[in-house]
Amino acid sequence: MAPRRPETLRGREIAGQFRLERFLGRGRSTLVYTAEDLTSGDEVAIKLLASSLTRNVGFMRRFRHVMRSACSFDHPNVVRVIAWGEERELFVVTEPAVGPLRALMLPGKGLSQGQTAALAVDVSRGLAYLAQRNLVHRRLHPSNLLIASDGRVMVSDAALAWILAHESGHQFSDFRYLAPEAGSGTTGPPTDVYALGMIMAEALTGDIPLLAGDVNATLGLRHETDLTLDGRWGRIGRAVGATGRADPERRVPAGQLDVGLMALIAQMDRSEVELPRMDPTARSDELESMRLTLRDRLPTVAAQTAATPGTSVGLAAGATTPSRANDDHRAAAADQAKPIDPPKPPPAPRRQPAAALRSSVPAEQPPAEQPPDDPAAGVESNPLTPEELAVRRNWVIGLIVALVVVLALLVGVQRFVLSSAAEVPQVVGATVDEVRAQAADGRWRLNTTEVRRDNTKTGEVLTQDPAAGTKLRAGESLDVTVSLGPTLVALPELEGLSQKDAENIITFAGMKLGDVESDYNADAKPGTVMSISAEFAEGTKLSKGSTVNLVVSDGAKPRQIPKELVGKNALSVVAELEKAQLKPVVEPVQEPSVALNYVVSVEPPEGSQVTIGDEVKVRVSAARENVAVPNVVGRTAAEADAEVRAVGLTVLGIEGPAGGTVERTDPEVGAEVPQGTSIRLVTR
């Protein structure tokens, strides 16, 4: 058992190197102290584990596995493990911290948006680091988020918190920050992201959302309901919502959460994001914090007594109902009320708790009457006959014999179960369904952690603990890591890119180019991507190796130049071409044979296939210019006809011999007439 006053262990040396100094806090199976490293003089933190844990072979195997991994962690937002070992009890030595985040999250004193964003950035980076190493915390809460002396927030007890809770059977004892999938035993990195979202919401609002009075009601409430904060919280509210989605596949990964939050922090002064100063003597008791949080969510049960009327049971005279103002007193009392298996100190006399000395009878009422010294006083005499005594004696003896038989059967069954140990098979590479069947045959508890890893199949077992060949008794745990498939990548924006550029991006992202379809689109440049596969959307997360289909633009659909445009009024032809989304270009020409402002010809010709927006030349008969009748006197009729036509006039007829020479013209030579005018030649 742990000492009621853990301060009595001050001065004790651990492993001949670390001397305990100041008691910091306790958990169900741990005591935490500051200590001095006697070799370097540095301050460290030491966590002492209950001595009873050393007798559990399965726990010791998991503890050693977890500690070997933890010693290799090197990240500013994950608490560094310096040493670990066993000396009467297990101990873990870590870098020191100013205190837990829980000490800053006091009732009525929430953190600002900037402070919450800053701590979330640190924690998300720590969780992303753990996720890269296929490690899921599973027990994230404000008391294992520690504040370093430089203001960093660090994730502590990675994996250790879970195996301690698992060993004690209290995996769900603190369910305030649990993700909905935790109830099915299927956890992964999104489970820790959900817990971070709950911590952020509590830091901002002072309350934990979607919380009921027990674990089943809480997980049921969270199973179908996404965590949301109202719009007044802006960007940080959206970040909380992204972490608190009921579907773990839709939650933002820890590695991406800090991007938006850093943009928010960049808009603030340094003073708005720095965490408040913390009292280094503050203690952390997450169990007491949970009790206080759930107090108002549990139904109130009024204790009643059959004692003297008016007597109040449960509160001493003058006491008040529990309130936030009494939290510190209750936390201090809780520190002295939760025993664990400790380092064994010199025996100390137990003191009766002060609460036990209080009278539950109000001061104004006399104490209840005490029973008389004679045990038989006040008992009605009712002697039994010898026959009745014999019957009663036989009945008692029979009951005792039955209890002995039942107890013997229970002990036998327990020994049989404990002795039925079997070798763990090689399950790496098998499917999780196959492993479930094997675990059921061996009567082992199967714990699964889900991760994504490239070049693996969904449901494939990647790691196991213990290793193949290890003896495992019924009821012990087999831990496996199961693949969710290849890692997910966000489908980049491809619309508007050329087909070649889109193909390069798809390949670079680890996906494959599938079918490429084409379609007409007047708004998209030919050869550019208009859309992707109908079942995907840009920004959708896909497994590496997925096939992405493209739809590429062929440009605008071809147009046909309308027919029967020549000979029509130029205005109607222009309107007809514009309706066909073509661009008419009017070109005036002198064509005496076509009426003024009527179409002479179009180019390209009528009925030709063109692209939308192409130019079409429309030649229109224009107004005629005046020209002088040329001097053709003395010319033959044939020579005169050629000269007249050369200036845009025509010969209407010849008066006189056809083979004679021109004597005069009508109109006369030199007269100004419009082009296209017909003149008469007079010969002799």
Does residue 396 lie in a domain region? no
**CATH assignment at residue 612:** 3.30.10.20
Tell me, yes or no, whether 563 and 545 share the same domain.
Answer: no
Placement of tokens 């004597």 in the chain:
663
Tell me, yes or no, whether 210 and 288 share the same domain.
Answer: yes
pLDDT of residue 288: 53
Question: What string of DSSP letters covers 520-562?
Answer: --TTS-TTBEEEE-TT--TT-EEETT-EEEEEEE--SPPEEPP
Phi, psi of 386 (to 5 degrees): -55, -40
Q: Which residues contact 163 (CB under 8 A, 6 or more apart)?
A: 59, 62, 63, 66
Tell me, yes or no, whether 73 and 176 share the same domain.
Answer: no
Tell me, yes or no, whether 232 and 188 share the same domain.
Answer: yes
Note the pLDDT tens digit of each residue in 520-550: 887 888 889 888 874 565 556 777 778 888 8
Residue 337 has pLDDT above 80, yes or no: no
pLDDT of residue 283: 53
Tell me, yes or no, whether 613 and 666 share the same domain.
Answer: no
pTM of the model: 0.48
Does residue 345 lie in a domain region? no
Tell me, yes or no, whether 531 and 544 share the same domain.
Answer: yes
Residue positions counted in the chain? 684
Give the pairing type, strands 583-589 and 615-621.
parallel
- Strand, helix or coil at 104? helix
Query: For residue 442, what is the enclosing H or E element?
Result: helix 432-442
Does residue 75 lie in a domain region? yes
**Cα dist. 626→547, 605, 673 in Å?**
74, 32, 5
pLDDT of residue 344: 40
Tell me, yes or no, whether 114 and 164 share the same domain.
Answer: yes
Among 501, 522, 553, residue at a domain's last position:
553
Number of separate domains in the chain: 6
Tell me, yes or no, whether 147 and 284 share the same domain.
Answer: yes
Question: Tell me, what amino acid is at 464?
Answer: Q
Q: Of the candidates 48, 67, 70, 47, which has an alpha carbon nearest to the alpha carbon of residue 59?
A: 67
540 φψ region: left (φ > 0), alpha (ψ -120 to 50), beta (else): beta
Does residue 291 lie in a domain region? yes
Note the pLDDT tens digit of each residue in 65-121: 888 888 889 999 999 999 999 888 899 999 999 989 998 987 667 799 999 999 999
Residue 419 has pLDDT above 80, yes or no: no
Does residue 433 lie in a domain region? yes
pLDDT of residue 401: 80
Note the pLDDT tens digit of each residue in 197-252: 999 999 999 899 999 888 888 999 999 899 999 888 988 999 999 999 999 999 99
Does residue 391 lie in a domain region? no
Residue 370 has pLDDT above 50, yes or no: no
The DSSP secondary-structure symbol of 101 reads: G
Does residue 354 lie in a domain region? no
Query: Of 441 and 195, which is predicted with more confidence?
Result: 195
Does residue 286 lie in a domain region? yes
Note the pLDDT tens digit of each residue in 171-208: 565 789 999 998 887 889 999 999 999 999 999 998 99
Dist. CA 131–CA 159, nearest whole Å:
12
Which two three-digit tokens encode residue 221? 């409430």
The domain of 668 spans: 626-683
Q: Of the candidates 94, 80, 68, 70, which has an alpha carbon nearest to the alpha carbon of residue 14?
A: 94
In the predicted model, what is the mean pLDDT of the chain? 78
Among 621, 648, 667, residue at a domain's last position:
621
Tell me, yes or no, whether 592 and 464 share the same domain.
Answer: no
**CATH assignment at residue 37:** 3.30.200.20
Peptide bond between residue 209 and the one before it cis (omega within 30 degrees of 0): no
Tell me, yes or no, whether 148 and 284 share the same domain.
Answer: yes
Dist. CA 123–CA 91, nearest whole Å:
25
Tell me, yes or no, whether 137 and 213 share the same domain.
Answer: yes
Among 71, 94, 117, residue at a domain's last position:
94
Q: Which residues contact 71 (CB under 8 A, 6 or more apart)?
A: 81, 84
Residue 1 has pLDDT above 60, yes or no: no
Tell me, yes or no, whether 80 and 127 share the same domain.
Answer: no
**CATH assignment at residue 143:** 1.10.510.10
